[in-house]
Amino acid sequence: MNATCLLVDDEPLAIQLLQKHIHDAGMLELIGSCTHAMEASTFLRTHKVDLIFLDIQMPKLTGIELLRMLRPAPAVIFTTAHRDYAMEGYELDIVDYLLKPISFERFMASVEKFYRRWNKGVPENVAVHPLSSQKLLRLQSGTKTYQVDEANIVFIESFKDYIQLYFADGKKLMIKYRIGQLEHELSSDFLRVHKSYIIHKKMITVFSNQSIELGSFSVPVGNHYKGFVEELLKK
């Protein structure tokens, strides 16, 4: 369920650092790395990519020039050692602008920003219930407080210190929050089925002690939770 991403940078060390950040975060699927813009252009003709980490200053064709060529363009996070291109980058509706060397904390903030914009549409076969508000969650993340109607949550997925909430209308929200903390704040309509997943029981379409389907989504049941989940779902 992670978004796919592509790295485009002519500096091997910059590529290696981003590869490490992506691996440590566990929130993106890296499907390729390119060392110049023309290689990336060729790659994108045959591969679907949700997000590009795109260096600006590269030989022959800059990252900005490449982005102007792409129709339609995936989401883009610019990576550069220079601040001079920031305004031009935002005019192109990029997700974010990362200055090298890129810290893991800054990388994570940028990925969170991307996930908040990313929307694949309404998940197939998930009923959008006209539910009234059952409980309004207030999730404090950094300096922001998010108000979420838990009746509209399909399931929650954990990525280390971050969680992503999947909603019945197809939208997603990723914030810095512990899944263990959220587990205690949700109503009894929710069930922890895996160390990385909490599901909304009213959204279940098919279940077993191995996995739970919520429309087009399939969530695994962790070994530690199998007996507990099976017993509760029989009720």
CA distances from 112 to 40, 88, 103, 129 (A): 24, 22, 14, 27
Taking the domains of the chain in order of start, what are their residue ranges?
A: 3-117, 136-233
Residue 106 in contact with residue 112, Cβ under 8 Å? no
pTM above 0.75, yes or no: no
Q: Are 110 and 27 in contact (CB under 8 A)?
A: no
Q: What's the order of all strands across the beta sheet hosting 217-220?
A: 206-207, 211-214, 217-220
> Residue 50, SS3?
coil
Give the model's pLDDT for residue 131: 41
Strands (E), the chain: 3-8, 28-34, 51-55, 75-80, 96-99, 136-141, 144-149, 153-159, 162-167, 172-176, 190-194, 197-200, 206-207, 211-214, 217-220
Q: Which backbone phi and psi does 127 adopt, to 5 degrees?
A: -70, 130
Domain 3-117 CATH class label:
alpha beta
| pLDDT one-digit tens code per residue, 15-65 | 999 999 999 888 899 999 999 999 999 999 999 999 999 999 898 898 989
Q: CATH classification of 136-233 is 3.40.50.10320, yes or no?
A: no
What does the pLDDT look like over 105-159, one tens digit per residue?
889 888 888 888 775 433 444 444 444 445 788 888 888 888 888 888 999 999 9
**By C-alpha distance, which of 107, 114, 39 is closest to 75?**
114
CB atoms near residue 123 (< 10 Å) = 18
